[in-house]
Amino acid sequence: MENKILGLHHITAIAGDAKQNFNFYSKILGLRFIKKTVNFDDPGTYHFYFGDEVGSAGTILTFFPWGSAIQQGREGSGMATKIGYSVPKGSLDFWQRRFDQYKVTYEKPAEKFGEKYLSFQDPDGLKLELIESETEDNRKAWETEEVKANVATKGFHNVTLTLKDVKPTAAVLTEIFGYKLIGQEDNRFRYATATVENAAIVDLVEIPEEKKGHVANGTVHHVAFRVKNDEILMHFRDKIEEYGLSITPQIDRQYFHSLYFREPGGVLFEIATDNPGFTVDEPLEELGQNLKLPAQYEAHRKTIENNLVKIN
């Protein structure tokens, strides 16, 4: 696995109301709330993390809840436009009943690349899919009282990027990240890495006339790809610079170390490490229960806590 991209690490999106976001993902969708912290650049805003029991790479969906006053985002070119979760075969009936119960907007099940899927939207309009993957998925699902393992999400299956021209983005995936084209249906091109079994797929949708998207509430902010450690992270920094793209220095995100660059199609990509993980500042059984602050904000804890909406 040396010097390899290991599929998706996490995906970060923008939400409106913090309580609404927390309730939807932890209660209706049944993900584990694994970390309650703040935006490194804006400590007055939460940064929520949802995933499996331990916050495994490939299961982590994170949000900046900017508040309902922030304008609605607009889906378009140069952005990630759908997030796909793997679910057990035969579970989509359960999810349709559940979405009816909680008045979640969804579409009738459909099929692409031989896989049945259910499209739905979160309260801010973010588009997601539950996919009955044809690839065996042995990842352990997080269970709740209402969402048991036989129907629960396993983690990411894929992410969809919408682009005016897929070729420059495809070149980054294949020439830098080691992905390969494994299928095409109309204007959808499916790329995958063989380094991992799950969270391995990136779909590129080409719409030449599509207007540029606007990142705000209900849209994806960036897509993060996984590497094992810091040494491999910096290998990819050199590789991306040699390719001619601008990339940030390494940034410590407390639970992983990161690099950021914008690929030629306009999507913000991150590369993130497995280390040090989400139990670096609280034990496994307490994940998500406490407000965890970066060291530079700890002295201002009382003020920060007073300014944030209470999440239980």
- Residue listed under structure tokens 């009936």: 93
Task: Give the domain range for residue 182.
Answer: 8-307
Q: Which residue has the higher pLDDT, 12 or 312?
A: 12
Using the predicted structure, report yes or no on whether residue 1 has a pLDDT greater than 60: no
Q: Is 275 left (phi over 0), alpha (psi -120 to 50) or beta?
A: beta
Residue closest to 125 by CA, chosen among 19, 199, 14: 14
Whether 14 is covered by a domain: the verdict is yes
Mean pLDDT of all residues in 248-257: 96
Confidence band of 23 (pLDDT split at 50, 70, 90): very high
Whether 200 is covered by a domain: the verdict is yes
Mean pLDDT of all residues in 176-188: 98
The span from the CA of 38 to the CA of 311, in Å, is 13
Whether 1 is covered by a domain: the verdict is no
Give just the sign of the alpha carbon dihedral 16, 22, 28, 32. positive
Mean pLDDT of all residues in 79-85: 98
Q: State the first-to-last Cα distance of the chain, in angstroms, to the nearest integer.
A: 39
Q: Any idea what DSSP says for residue 41?
A: T
Using the predicted structure, report yes or no on whether residue 110 has a pLDDT greater than 70: yes
The confidence score (pLDDT) of residue 67 equals: 85
Whether 312 is covered by a domain: the verdict is no
AA letter at 286: E
Residue closest to 240 by CA, chosen among 264, 273, 266, 204: 264
The confidence score (pLDDT) of residue 196 equals: 97
The span from the CA of 310 to the CA of 292, in Å, is 14
Whether 3 is covered by a domain: the verdict is no
Q: Which of 63-77, 85-99, 122-136 has the lowest mean pLDDT?
A: 63-77
- pTM beyond cutoff 0.85: yes
The confidence score (pLDDT) of residue 68 equals: 74
Residue closest to 70 by CA, chosen among 145, 18, 138: 18
Whether 108 is covered by a domain: the verdict is yes
Confidence band of 69 (pLDDT split at 50, 70, 90): low
The torsion angles phi and psi of 25, rounded to 5 degrees, stand at -80, -35
The confidence score (pLDDT) of residue 70 equals: 74
The confidence score (pLDDT) of residue 71 equals: 83
The confidence score (pLDDT) of residue 85 equals: 98
All residues at 6 or more sequence positions from 274 whose CB lies less than 8 Å from its CB, including other chains: 57, 226, 227, 228, 229, 256
CATH assignment of the domain containing 297:
3.10.180.10
Average pLDDT, the chain: 96
Q: Encode pLDDT of 195-244 as tens digits.
A: 999 999 999 999 999 999 999 999 999 999 999 999 999 999 999 999 99
Q: Any idea what DSSP says for residue 291?
A: B
Percent share of the chain, pLDDT over 90: 95
E strand or H helix at 129: strand 127-132
Mean pLDDT of all residues in 104-109: 98
**Distance from the Cα of residue 228 to its chain's centroid:** 18
Whether 2 is covered by a domain: the verdict is no
Q: Is 153 left (phi over 0), alpha (psi -120 to 50) or beta?
A: beta
Q: Is 294 exposed, middle or buried (0-12, 13-18, 19+ CB in 10 A)?
A: middle
8 Å CB contact between 69 and 58:
no
Give me the number of domains the chain comprises. 1
Residue 223, token pair as written in the block: 């897509």
Percent share of the chain, pLDDT over 70: 99
Q: Encode pLDDT of 262-286 as tens digits.
A: 999 999 999 999 999 999 999 999 9
Q: Which residue has the higher pLDDT, 311 or 111?
A: 111
Whether 174 is covered by a domain: the verdict is yes
The span from the CA of 285 to the CA of 255, in Å, is 17
Using the predicted structure, report yes or no on whether residue 141 has a pLDDT greater than 90: yes
